[in-house]
Structure 1
Amino acid sequence: MAYSPLWHPGQALGIVAPASAPRTPEKLERGLNALAEDGYRVHWDPGQLEQRGYLSGSDSERAGQFHRALAHARHLIAVRGGYGCLRILDRIDYAAARRTPGVLIGYSDITALQLSLFTCSGWRSISGPVVIEWDSIPAAMKEEVRLLLEGELPLPIEGLMTMRKGQCTGTLLGGNLSTIARMVGSSYLPDLEKKLLFIEDVNEAPYRIDALLTQLKNAGILEGLGGLIIGNFTGDQSQLNQGDGDTMIQTIIDCVDEYPWPVVSGLEYGHLPSRRVLPIGVSARLSADPNGGCLEILDPIAKR
């Protein structure tokens, strides 16, 4: 896997719109202004993007806008998630991306593009905030993004809840569970053998999470996994109404009960106003013992 170059204040940060459009132009403008105030020289070239329903443009327009951004910046951040990345995975020039290794920041639907860039181009990415959130996220999240871009290793994430004991060192991959499950059967989903997988989702009832994990199981993906880190599964409780929050965790545990690898929960990651920022494609160590779990990042995403 290739390292991206270190980011320095004043360097360009490319803005990409591979999925849904912002609900209002004002949200995008506030996010762009907040990034500039934090020292990022934003490069935003929407080109011929013209919103089409739930998408920020046609498939060819969105893929083209990604390539234009990559021509100007090695560090990219998505406008928002929503939906749409799956539709352009076959339009990305992965050879060009491999020649210019970079970092893509985003989460939710952006998971698809981050994982495909890892698989096909060796990119490391950041599962973190999108542009339209930047004016409202806590300073701690912004600092975590900056440190990762500058090649620093984050402090270990301690205090996780051990659901199954064990230890594993492997490549850290993950993101939105629904998106990962939709990539099954494609050449864009990474090989998860001996990998550490972190997952989250939003507005999904326990039976739907069961179905998503069962899809991974039936595809033979879970058997060789190295370990599982369970993030937040948030949403309207009227939709999730099948007991309290413990029901969701228990659903996940039941789905992976037959496997020997370590499992932890309690990671503050997902569709939350304040959450952890996680690197994708780096070496990490998961430790789960009776006293609690710990996730330690061993490798940076960027180097000089």
Structure 2
Amino acid sequence: MIKPKPLQKGDTVAVIAPASPPNQHNLKKGIEYLREIGLNVVTGAHLYKKNGYLAGTDEQRAADIHAMFANKEVKAIICACGGYGTARLASQLNYDLIKRNPKVFWGYSDITFLHTAIHQRTGLVTFHGPMLSSDLGKEDVHIETKQAFYQLFSHRSLCYTDQISPLDTICEGEATGQLIGGNLTLLVSTLGTPFELDTKNRILFIEDIDEEPYEIDRMMTQLYMANKLQDAAGIIIGDFHNCYPKKRKESLSLEEALTSYLTSLKKPVMRGFRIGHCSPQTAVAIGSYATMSTYERMVEFESGITLPKDKVER
């Protein structure tokens, strides 16, 4: 496991668009917020490119990732938005370059494929959190969503309890393991590829948006048949925004689609976490450790930031 160093006021962070083109108005406001909290901002050379539903060609988007990991002045890389396209980049990335230059990498949704690939190829802890165009730049952005970025400035764990949001237990138990996961659709798309999701002895978290229950059912079935649910030490269910029946009059409920394969796993499974396409949104560190207990109705997410050398734990 490699954890990036904490940010300090005055540090330079980079903004890139490795998936779809960002909303320009929202992006501008999101960048303004980064400056408000004391960060200098540089942008990828191809941030404003458009190629259909992609923010530039695969080569251009991969080049921005490489350039920002190689740039010694850049301490964090923040994704402007998700959408579609990161899976197209995974086989083009120089993972040795990324491993030699560990730093904060932040985003969610379609960025899930990059989180999975980067962590499994390099051991770098990355961050599943709100993005500039799709979250911070919106008029109604929640203050707690903005505050998610504060975790990058210090080595603090997050103890998630019912005081943050109501939590429901699907299966009782306790577990500890490295946190892995993200957007369900993207996680399923890794199966059968060189970047296939590894859930062995890990805490798996899932979230999604705009998928009907039958589509959620299909993806959960695929994870189950690939033994990804069985291999996990525990499972956390985040927000499934706007995932209700639309095309079909007769349907299972979202809860039934999600839990039909989970209730028999005999491992801790909890739902109700504000992780995903929700407001407010909680950010978590992928690859860092998490400890969950249904008896205490709690998950402790370890910090994804390394301790400064003068504060090494003994």
Fold similarity call, TM over 0.5: yes
**1:49 Cα shift?**
6.0
For 1:98, give the aligned amino acid. K
- Residue 32 (1) aligns with residue 31 (2): yes
- Residue 61 (1) aligns with residue 60 (2): yes
For 1:250, give the aligned amino acid. E
The CA deviation string for residues 75-113 of structure 1, in whole angstroms up to 9 with x for no partner, is: 111010000000000111100111111221111001110
1:272 pairs, out of 278, 281, 286, with 278
In the alignment, which residue of structure 1 is the partner of 2:150? 146
* Counterpart contact for 1:32–1:131, Cα < 8 Å: yes
- 1:36-47 map, 5 Å: 36-47=35-46
In the alignment, which residue of structure 2 is the partner of 1:135? 137
The CA deviation string for residues 197-233 of structure 1, in whole angstroms up to 9 with x for no partner, is: 1111111111111111111111222211111111111
* Counterpart contact for 2:10–2:40, Cα < 8 Å: yes
For 1:3, give the aligned amino acid. K
Report how many aligned residue pairs link the two structures. Answer: 300
**1:149 Cα shift?**
4.1
2:302 pairs, out of 267, 290, 298, with 298
Structure 2's unaligned 5+ residue stretches are 309-314
CA distance in 1, matches of 2:47, 2:259: 46
In the alignment, which residue of structure 2 is the partner of 1:101? 102
CA distance in 2, matches of 1:299, 1:150: 8
CA distance in 2, matches of 1:262, 1:15: 37
CA distance in 2, matches of 1:299, 1:33: 26
**1:239 Cα shift?**
2.3
The Cα RMSD (Å) is: 2.1
SS of residue in 2 equivalent to 1:145: helix
* Counterpart contact for 1:203–1:236, Cα < 8 Å: yes
CA distance in 2, matches of 1:236, 1:2: 35
Which piece of structure 1 moves more, 37-46 or 175-184? Answer: 37-46
- 1:175-190 map, 5 Å: 175-190=182-197
CA distance in 2, matches of 1:46, 1:143: 28
The CA deviation string for residues 51-85 of structure 1, in whole angstroms up to 9 with x for no partner, is: 11110010011000111122232311101000000
Normalising to structure 1: TM-score of the pair? 0.92
* Counterpart contact for 1:286–1:295, Cα < 8 Å: yes
In the alignment, which residue of structure 2 is the partner of 1:199? 206
SS of residue in 2 equivalent to 1:303: coil
In the alignment, which residue of structure 1 is the partner of 2:79? 78
* Counterpart contact for 1:227–1:262, Cα < 8 Å: yes
* Counterpart contact for 1:32–1:42, Cα < 8 Å: yes
* Counterpart contact for 1:149–1:302, Cα < 8 Å: no
* Counterpart contact for 1:147–1:154, Cα < 8 Å: no
CA distance in 1, matches of 2:113, 2:284: 15
CA distance in 2, matches of 1:270, 1:28: 19
**1:240 Cα shift?**
7.5
Structure 1's unaligned 5+ residue stretches are none
- 1:122-271 map, 5 Å: 122-132=123-133, 133-136=135-138, 137-158=141-162, 159-235=166-242, 237=244, 239=246, 247-271=253-277
For 2:267, give the aligned amino acid. W
Cα separation, partners in 2 of 1:13 and 1:243, compared to 1, 3 Å: farther
Cα separation, partners in 2 of 1:147 and 1:48, compared to 1, 3 Å: closer
* Counterpart contact for 2:201–2:231, Cα < 8 Å: yes
Cα separation, partners in 2 of 1:33 and 1:126, compared to 1, 3 Å: same
Normalising to structure 2: TM-score of the pair? 0.89
For 1:53, give the aligned amino acid. G
The CA deviation string for residues 174-196 of structure 1, in whole angstroms up to 9 with x for no partner, is: 11000000001122234211111
**1:238 Cα shift?**
5.7
* Counterpart contact for 2:286–2:304, Cα < 8 Å: no
- Residue 52 (1) aligns with residue 56 (2): no
CA distance in 2, matches of 1:284, 1:243: 38
SS of residue in 2 equivalent to 1:9: coil
In the alignment, which residue of structure 2 is the partner of 1:14? 14
The CA deviation string for residues 23-43 of structure 1, in whole angstroms up to 9 with x for no partner, is: 3x2222222122212212111
CA distance in 1, matches of 2:120, 2:279: 29
For 2:230, give the aligned amino acid. E
Which piece of structure 1 moves more, 9-18 or 249-258? Answer: 249-258
**1:151 Cα shift?**
2.1
**1:242 Cα shift?**
6.3
Amino-acid identity (%): 29
